[in-house]
A = this chain, B = another copy of it.
């Protein structure tokens, strides 16, 4: 089979445009109503998407006065929608900084059992400023330390998921042997940040462990992704930076001895789709005009570590000198850099920049016909900028429905996307191997069995 696109539906509020929640095309349901998420999951599955994904932040957003926030918690969402679906992958964000590895490893193993092998974990270190103080810290833990902790955390979680051999549960009713305790072992981890004895208290799950997803884009974030990630979500405002990122991730992964085919790079794309270019642009303008410049300024400020932009005239053309050096930004460094790069290249007014960022928070936002969206996706895919896309509809469900009804058929006619699932697990959809247990590799198992 020729290589095809991988598509993930990224669910965010009532759509990725910050004003989507006000638009009549967005869901009438509350963000705490599970039916909203279940219906999206059912639609993603009907469209044979690889997966559906829920982002997260461990603090209430300062924007909540004017932007729809405060939805359900991702792990409970996945468990709740697993029963309404049977094929689509289910990806939840969870933090390595503010959770216990034993609890997280266990909930993801439980989700992987509940969903019959469809779960992915978007590994984040929680960059939002408000998170630290909700977990006993005076302020946010700084970037480098968060990644050191993340590395140890993932190593612990992997050991926990590997602490049961696949064949540890015997369930031998006749002889009264439930498990082979020689096939379940302690992990005895004593590290810099955490000590965890193990074993985990749940058996190894259908996929061995969740698929690892990551979205780090700083130098540290990229090397973390190159080591651990099986899918990478990434934000680019243009194809060139996406291509650079793509090459960098694949090169770094290969340098670590990994198969570069087993780490999928999925840039975000936020398509406002109209039957004509004019209609698409009109819909886009409608959304922009609902936006509040004060919210945009706060958000821009957060992107640049709290820098104050309120002194700038909204209608003056910007220059890179209006921004602090992105290398000094602690949070999402590469997004800050790409904003400065865009300003250098396009010289927008502050108002126009804020409209652009209101669209998809630094991801690639485009308004156009279904043909044009499909062309862009094909171009990025064939030119080595993407293995697929993190599809971020500006309005949910409206613009996801439009994507499925009008863009997908074009991609399918071009042979770029599946018409039906071939496999059952998220690993199947992503073309990934099932990982072996580091403690109970199959070869050793086979030898053991042969010797019996």
Q: Give me the interface of A with B, judged by CB distance under 8 Å.
A: 19, 21-22, 30, 32-34, 38, 57-61, 64-73, 75-80, 82-84, 98-100, 102-103, 106-107, 109-111, 113-114, 130, 133-136, 164, 169, 171, 173-174, 176-181, 184, 194-203, 205, 290, 292
Contacts and interface: CB of A to CB of B under 8 A. Distances in A.
B73 A107 contact: yes
Contact of A113 (B68, B72, B75, B179): B72
A363 B169 CA distance: 28
A65 B179 contact: yes
Given A72-B202, A75-B75, A100-B135, 14 more contacts: A22-B176, A33-B113, A34-B83, A61-B201, A65-B180, A68-B178, A71-B202, A75-B79, A76-B114, A80-B80, A80-B83, A99-B100, A136-B195, A136-B196
Contacts of A69: 178-179, 201
B135 A66 contact: no
A30 B169 contact: yes
Contact of A102 (B33, B71, B106, B134): B134
A114 B80 contact: yes
A78 to B, nearest CB: 8
A130 B64 CA distance: 42
A184 B60 contact: yes
Contacts of A34: 82-83, 113-114
A72 B176 contact: no
B177 A65 contact: yes
